[in-house]
Amino acid sequence: MTSERILVVDDEESIREIVSSMLGSAGYPTTVAGSGVEALEVLASGEPFDLMLSDISMAAMDGLTLLERTKERFPEMPVIMVTAVHDISVALGSIRNGAYDYLLKPFEREQLLATVRRALENRRLKLENRSYQLELEARVEKKTEQLRGAMTELERSYDITLQALGDALDLKDAETEGHSKRVTAYTIAVANKMGVPRDKISVIARGAFLHDIGKMAIPDAILRKPGPLTAEERLIMREHCYRGYQIVKRIPFLTEAAEIVYAHQEFYDGTGYPRGLKGEEIPLGARIFAIGDTLDAITSDRPYRRAQSVHAAQMEIKKFAGTQFDPAIVEVFLGIPEAFWQGLRKDIDSQVYRFSYPRKAVMAGA
């Protein structure tokens, strides 16, 4: 027996009994109502429901009216509409008005249960994500207040601030710290080789280090899921770019870095996300970061494969020049010797490398 309660609304007693029996046999506690008016009374009684299954064609109050009134008072509760009218416009109309999905009579038990499971899972993910978001906003607000009082010192010592925010992300993913430091070092190295001004490199370094900070807003059930994500979970995961942007842009001296956080999953040919930016629409720092991120991904151990060589990473990045990567930046990257990248990684892993001195990252390969 699950704890997820379902309200079944239909003006035909036989249908109510059949649907209630199907759901009950699958372990769902159900309550029935014979009309839209009765359903509102049940909902108003205070008994909590996780899902409502309602017929569309009912006397006195039809299902669409019930849907509208239910959404006003219980916006978190998904509603599945049931209709015998084989008119797709009716079903689509109910979805436009807020229904999660619809079923056409007659339906089979497995069809009903599959739709119910999807609706309940969708509700769970939304509630979980909202809970994480509220918790994150409270933490960010508190942190921002602390940062505001020490802004002068933070502007001189941005690496300390970055480390503090990185530590917060480590609470979600124990591997983040090493990845963020390596990607930042690689990004600084390429930017130096390109001749990017020092002040701009500082901005790029901040954006590179904080690129995954938005994952703090992603539920652990999704972030740490061992198997493949569902379509809905992938959409939630993709929100980390925007969530990170919202976090970082609130800190005044990280405003420019926030744009890199927002765009770090964009592709040069416009097929990336979240905004589908193309070419030079993508901030320079994000275009440089994309190469450093891929270099680290290929040369690091993953659960599904061992780390590959720097040469393998160079060939992979070269292959996708003009599609995923800016070809001009790829050319600069390929001009840096393999030995330099190997030495830089060794320095980072042994704690020799410090972000307070960004030019150290490329002196050996300049």
Active site residues: 215
Strand order in the sheet with 51-55: 30-33, 6-9, 51-55, 79-83, 101-104
Q: Specify the DSSP element, H or E, that contains 104.
A: strand 101-104
Under 8 Å between Cβ of 310 and 295: yes
Helices H / strands E in the chain, number of each: 17, 5
| Pairwise CA distance, residues 78 & 94, whole Å | 12
As given in the structure block, the two tokens for residue 303 are 């659960």
What are the DSSP calls for 116-155, one per residue? HHHHHHHHHHHHHHHHHHHHHHHHHHHHHHHHHHTHHHHH
In one letter, which amino acid is 331?
Answer: E
Would you give the end-to-end CA distance of the chain in angstroms? 66
Angle CA(311)–CA(283)–CA(237) in degrees, nearest 5?
A: 75
| Pairwise CA distance, residues 323 & 276, whole Å | 13
What are the DSSP calls for 273-288, one per residue? SSS---GGGS-HHHHH
